[in-house]
């Protein structure tokens, strides 16, 4: 049919397992029309034969694009008490300096890196709203539109999450001076989300949701106002229970822990994605699951910042929905995120194949990949859940000749792709049935210019 894209994969990951000689047919709208494992020879005529095994594209459920500019620049200790809060001070240095043009260049390079790794949609938790002096831009969506242009330039899907940030802490009346670029109100956030959503047509790669930075950054009235004002189709994200001090401060202010406070204040449902939750208890995770909300886990950033270890066995044992995010982008590899997620559990519990055991699965890599894949749709509010009819036709082609995959039987390809390093590279990435072509030299040059202006 006109507009169809037809592919033949030597192997493809479908419903949690590998199938051979898979015919993949994408429609003109960029979604899957047909998936045919063991396709007969007559259906293999005139197709594009893919050069390696095929995995579905993944959603990166949590990104702060501007923080790509500090990856590798916060790894020198300034005191014996270096922790999340001291890292935050250094992160603010970038937040206070980056210009709209620099942000666009940084985001474009980052998004290209994510695409090359096999991420096909990124959820941008965006709280830089104002100019460097803290004043509103003439157009309130100035920085947001820069992120949209960056995503369109490289071809990745983008879920923009303009983020509400109103105060420096639970008992504070407002923001610190070095948080001036974050200042926002429920109305301003809803207006940004509405502007972005109104620009897009059905089936486009860019959509919008809303985010609350954290309970410490937003009072209960504003929290309820934003949640009530968000469209029923918009995902809602929030940082929750990331640090022990955050939990302790919430108990001092409200008498209960953050998760319990959130659930008591708003109608948390399937639109909600709670980011990190590294300090959440098993009881709290069960309560989140009962509301059909999701968790976004960011293992590389949680490890880099000393956040703690998410209780993966409890969450997977509760059949909880979850996705992964690269957050501060100290890595842009989904393989490393999943590997760190499993290894953090092994360090903590002194056991092996923790994800497999929790998910009642044979393969830890399979359990982890399927979890991240399934939860990605909730994170972005789109149908991007794998190689299945009706889902967006996003996929990555794995380099089957990668050293880490040498001699590996097909049934163990994903196990090796996740747990044998160096990471197997992706030969190609497709979004909505279209192969992504990237000019990495030009993107890198723009990124280097932005970095030089920021840090010289």
pLDDT at 77: 86
Spatial distance between the Cα atoms of 206 and 157, rounded to a whole number of angstroms: 6
Residues 203-243 have pLDDT tens digits of 568 999 999 999 999 999 999 999 999 999 999 999 999 99
Q: Token pair for residue 163? A: 């983020």
29's CB contacts (< 8 A; 6+ apart) are: 203
Of 327, 394, 399, 446, the active-site residue reads 327
DSSP state for residue 425 in the 8-state scheme: P
Is 202 annotated as catalytic? no
Spatial distance between the Cα atoms of 58 and 356, rounded to a whole number of angstroms: 20
Residue 196: in which H helix or E strand, if any? helix 186-199
CA proximity to 398, closest of 51, 35, 157, 5: 51
Mark the ranges of the chain whose per-residue pLDDT is less than 50: 202
As to burial, measured by CB atoms within 10 angstroms (0-12 exposed, 13-18 middle, 19+ buried), residue 82 is middle
CA 281 vs CA 36, 86, 208, 285: distances in Å: 43, 26, 30, 6
Residues 138-148 have pLDDT tens digits of 999 999 999 99
Is 276 annotated as catalytic? yes
Tell me which residue has tokens 């092996």: 352
CA 54 vs CA 4, 49, 58, 88: distances in Å: 19, 11, 12, 39
Is residue 238 within 8 A of residue 275, CB to CB? The reply is yes
Q: CATH for 58-380?
A: 3.20.20.140
CA proximity to 326, closest of 102, 74, 94, 113: 113
CA proximity to 334, closest of 381, 283, 298: 298
- As a whole number of Å, the CA-based R_g of the chain is 21
pLDDT at 202: 44
DSSP state for residue 200 in the 8-state scheme: -
As to burial, measured by CB atoms within 10 angstroms (0-12 exposed, 13-18 middle, 19+ buried), residue 83 is middle
Q: Domain limits of the chain?
A: 5-56+387-440, 58-380
Task: Give me the architecture of the 5-56+387-440 domain, per CATH.
Answer: Roll (2.30)
As to burial, measured by CB atoms within 10 angstroms (0-12 exposed, 13-18 middle, 19+ buried), residue 198 is exposed
CA proximity to 284, closest of 261, 267, 306, 303: 261
Of 276, 307, 311, 329, the active-site residue reads 276
Count CB neighbours of 308 within 10 A.
Answer: 20
Q: Token pair for residue 414? A: 């994903």
- Residue by residue, DSSP assigns 59-87 as EEEEE-GGGGGGTTSS-S-SSTT-SHHHH
């Amino acid at each position: 049919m006109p507009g169809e894209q037809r592919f033949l994969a030597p192997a493809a990951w479908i419903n949690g397992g590998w199938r051979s000689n898979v015919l993949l047919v994408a429609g003109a709208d960029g979604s899957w029309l047909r998936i045919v494992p063991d396709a007969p020879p007559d259906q293999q005529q005139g197709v594009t034969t893919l050069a390696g095994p095929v995995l579905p594209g993944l959603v990166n459920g949590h990104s702060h694009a501007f923080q790509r500019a500090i990856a590798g620049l916060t790894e020198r200790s300034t005191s014996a008490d270096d922790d999340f809060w001291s890292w935050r001070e250094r992160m603010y240095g970038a937040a206070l300096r980056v210009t709209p043009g620099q942000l666009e260049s940084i985001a474009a390079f980052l998004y290209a890196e994510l695409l090359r790794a096999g991420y096909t949609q990124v959820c941008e938790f965006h709280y830089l709203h104002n100019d460097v002096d803290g004043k509103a831009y003439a157009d309130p969506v100035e920085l947001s539109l820069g992120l949209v242009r960056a995503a369109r330039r490289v071809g990745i899907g983008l879920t923009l999450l303009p983020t509400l940030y109103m105060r420096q802490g639970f008992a504070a009346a407002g923001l610190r001076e070095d948080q001036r670029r974050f200042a926002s109100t429920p109305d301003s956030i809803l207006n940004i989300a509405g502007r972005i959503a109104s620009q897009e047509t059905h089936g486009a790669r860019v959509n919008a949701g809303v985010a609350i930075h954290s309970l410490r950054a937003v009072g209960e009235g504003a929290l309820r106002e934003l949640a009530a004002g968000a469209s029923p189709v918009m995902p809602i994200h929030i940082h929750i229970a990331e640090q022990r001090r955050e939990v302790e401060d919430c108990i001092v202010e409200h008498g209960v822990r953050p998760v319990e406070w959130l659930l008591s204040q708003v109608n948390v449902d399937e639109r909600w994605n709670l980011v990190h939750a590294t300090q959440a208890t098993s009881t709290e995770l069960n309560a989140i699951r009962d509301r059909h909300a999701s968790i976004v886990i960011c293992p590389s950033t949680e490890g880099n910042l000393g956040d703690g270890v998410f209780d993966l066995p409890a969450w997977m044992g509760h059949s909880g929905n979850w996705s992964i995010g690269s957050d501060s982008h100290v890595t842009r590899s989904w393989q490393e995120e999943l590997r760190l997620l499993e290894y953090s559990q092994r360090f903590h519990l002194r056991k092996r194949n923790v994800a497999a055991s929790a998910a009642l699965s044979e393969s830890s890599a399979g359990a982890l990949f399927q979890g991240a894949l399934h939860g990605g749709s909730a994170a972005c509010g789109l149908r991007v859940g794998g190689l299945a009819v009706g889902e967006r036709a996003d996929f990555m082609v794995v380099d089957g000749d990668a050293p880490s995959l040498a001699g590996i039987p097909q049934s163990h390809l994903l196990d090796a792709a996740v747990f044998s390093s160096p990471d197997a590279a992706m030969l190609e990435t497709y979004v909505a049935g279209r192969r992504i072509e990237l000019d990495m030299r030009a993107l890198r040059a723009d990124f280097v210019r932005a970095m030089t202006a920021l840090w010289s």
